[in-house]
Amino acid sequence: MRIGLLTEGGYPYATGEAAPWCDRLVRGLPQHEFELYALSRSAEQERARVPLPEHVTHVRTAPLWAPADDGRSYSRRERRRFTDCFQQLVHGVCSGAPEPFATGLYGLAGLAREQGGLYAALRSESAVRALEAACRAPGASRTVQVAQVADLLEFVDELERMLRPLSLDWYEEDARGEGLGAVDVCHAGAGGVAALPGLLAKRFFGVPLLVTEYGVQLRAHYLSHLGAGGGEEPRPAVRALRAAFHLRLACEIYARADFLTPGNAHARRWQERCGATRDRLRTVYPGMEADRFATVGESADCGDPHTLVWVGRVEPAKDLIALLHAFAEIRRAEPGTRLRIFATAADPGYLADCLSLAAQLFPDEAADRVTVGENPVAFEQIGGPEAPSTAEAYGAGRIVVLSSVIEGFPLALAEAMLCGRATVSTDVGAVREVIGGTGLVVPPRNPKALAEACLSLLGDAERAERLGAAARARALELFTVEQNVTAFQEIYLRLLARGSERPDGGVPFARPPEARVPGHWTSPTWAKPAPEPTAEAAV
């Protein structure tokens, strides 16, 4: 089977949200051929590519970060057709109407397929004027109606980047048999722009489309547009146009995809609210390498009973400020308790705020006049001398804490469960679904509740051990690479078993894999009739 794997800002590069699970999926299915189609977000990202197995036949990359221009000019007829399609697209964005958005999107895709690209047209004055007319039209939101020229120019520039997959040469089958139009299944590793090439391959070639989301792209865009991702906050009109575009694109993808695999019930609810039907949904939890955590998880040592552990990226969404205030309550009740914070990465500004708060709340303590003072809160880096691996970081204490206010699928929580640790978590994202009764859950932004839950486990070591054992058993059942790969193998076969919807009436597997191998095999000697025996041969 030939799988076209679509990614944005992730695999086959070393960084990105989808990189680890995509790599595990590809390596777990060596019996299939994978073709990788990657949209990259930066030049630095493209310099760090992970080693690929032999059954990855080729990789094609298109940058979303660099300006693009094909340098071609358009005829009057082409400009008129482009304007008509673009007007429908932006009318759907500004009014929230799905029909004109879809008509405009596929109209632009068809024009790009015929003409070879729309880079210049999408940045033209005609595009700006069409967007301005859509913003001023009846039915547009009040925020969009007041968009200024600077807002229109900024959004048109971003729209060209988001619609860049329309102008790529990924679809038509080339002389080597490569192209999304020739694969058996398109598998998008995320929703949004990453799934757009698969949407076009389905539209023009009938290739089945599978979309996997472990973190809902639409939700991530909403949070980033609200300024939650840091950086300069966008102007209201631009923010509204971005959000409207991503909503319309997500709804179109969810409506057209043959199958959707959310990574948790939280993501599944988002997809259902945006139009996905339940008969095309199946929850597939991300696969994790359980062997990495086996040593700690199976060890008789359950970690220091007086140490709390936190592991993750130090950023505002993780709400370490609330955790530090909760730890102040814990220290008043249990003075000997320590908190070890292991950072996988960090927002420098937020890390500085946390360090400052920790220094204020917990002055260095010393046992006597000659002992060096030590702070009960330690900020450490994974890979340091005391925690060379993630598993050993979790093994440093008996209780692992998650204090987030925003969370999709909490990977750190699943890792702690594989390490056999009792957990105390805030009730956000898919936390309750992951925990499943094997840990304590408290409301977010509530330091007092977080402190009380931690104290209850610190004062009952036997209960903490029972919860840790139950957590490891649950994680081994649900969150391993094996269950993830098996699920996708079944879904691939299910998509092919439904029958082909290709416009040419082609049948999957009708052409053998060796059909793509050049050489004399096309007229092999064994396929020719045997020559008549000669008199000399008879003798």
pLDDT tens-digit readout, 161-177 = 999 999 998 998 776 77
Q: What is the pLDDT of residue 526?
A: 40
Angstrom distance (rounded) from CA 100 to CA 109 = 14
Q: Give the mean pLDDT of 297-314.
A: 92
Q: Give the mean pLDDT of 181-185.
A: 93
Q: What is the pLDDT of residue 523?
A: 43
346 C-beta neighbours (distance < 10 Å), count: 16
Instruction: Find, among 277, 186, 285, the residue nearest to 496 by Cα.
Output: 186
- Cα–Cα distance list, 353 to 226, 299, 314, 467 (Å): 21, 36, 11, 33
Q: Give the mean pLDDT of 139-159.
A: 92
Q: What is the pLDDT of residue 181?
A: 92
Answer for the pair 311, 342: CB distance below 8 angstroms, yes or no: yes
| CA angle (192 as vertex; 160, 230 as ends), nearest 5 | 80
Percent of the chain with pLDDT over 70: 86
**Which pLDDT band, with edges at 50, 70 and 90, does 439 fall under?**
very high
Q: What is the pLDDT of residue 16?
A: 55
**Which pLDDT band, with edges at 50, 70 and 90, does 503 fall under?**
low
**Which pLDDT band, with edges at 50, 70 and 90, does 228 fall under?**
very low
**Which pLDDT band, with edges at 50, 70 and 90, does 501 fall under?**
low
Residue 303 has pLDDT above 90, yes or no: no
**Which pLDDT band, with edges at 50, 70 and 90, does 363 fall under?**
confident
8-state DSSP, 194: G
Angstrom distance (rounded) from CA 403 to CA 57 = 43
Structure tokens given for 436 = 């499943």
- For residue 432, the surrounding DSSP H or E stretch is helix 431-435
Question: Mind listing the pLDDT tens digit for each residue in 470-485?
Answer: 999 999 999 999 999 9
**Which pLDDT band, with edges at 50, 70 and 90, does 235 fall under?**
confident
Q: What is the pLDDT of residue 10?
A: 79
pTM: 0.83
Q: Give the mean pLDDT of 202-231.
A: 76
Angstrom distance (rounded) from CA 143 to CA 110 = 32
Q: What is the pLDDT of residue 415?
A: 95
Residue 118 has pLDDT above 80, yes or no: yes
Of the given ranges (2-16, 100-114, 242-256), which has the lowest mean pLDDT?
A: 2-16
Q: What is the pLDDT of residue 531?
A: 53
**Which pLDDT band, with edges at 50, 70 and 90, does 233 fall under?**
low
Instruction: Find, among 4, 6, 7, 71, the residue nearest to 41 by Cα.
Output: 7
Answer for the pair 375, 355: CB distance below 8 angstroms, yes or no: no
Q: Give the mean pLDDT of 434-458.
A: 96
What amino acid occupies position 80? R
Q: pLDDT higher for 489 or 20?
A: 489
Q: What is the pLDDT of residue 73?
A: 72
Angstrom distance (rounded) from CA 263 to CA 429 = 11
28 C-beta neighbours (distance < 10 Å), count: 17
Q: pLDDT higher for 203 or 507?
A: 203
Residue 265 has pLDDT above 70, yes or no: yes
297 C-beta neighbours (distance < 10 Å), count: 25
Interhelix angle for 348-361 vs 320-333, to 10°? 20
Angstrom distance (rounded) from CA 134 to CA 124 = 16
- Report the mean per-residue pLDDT for the chain: 87
Q: What is the pLDDT of residue 374?
A: 79
Euclidean distance between the first and the last CA atom of the chain, given in angstroms as a whole number: 50
- Cα–Cα distance list, 338 to 288, 379, 383, 384 (Å): 29, 11, 20, 18
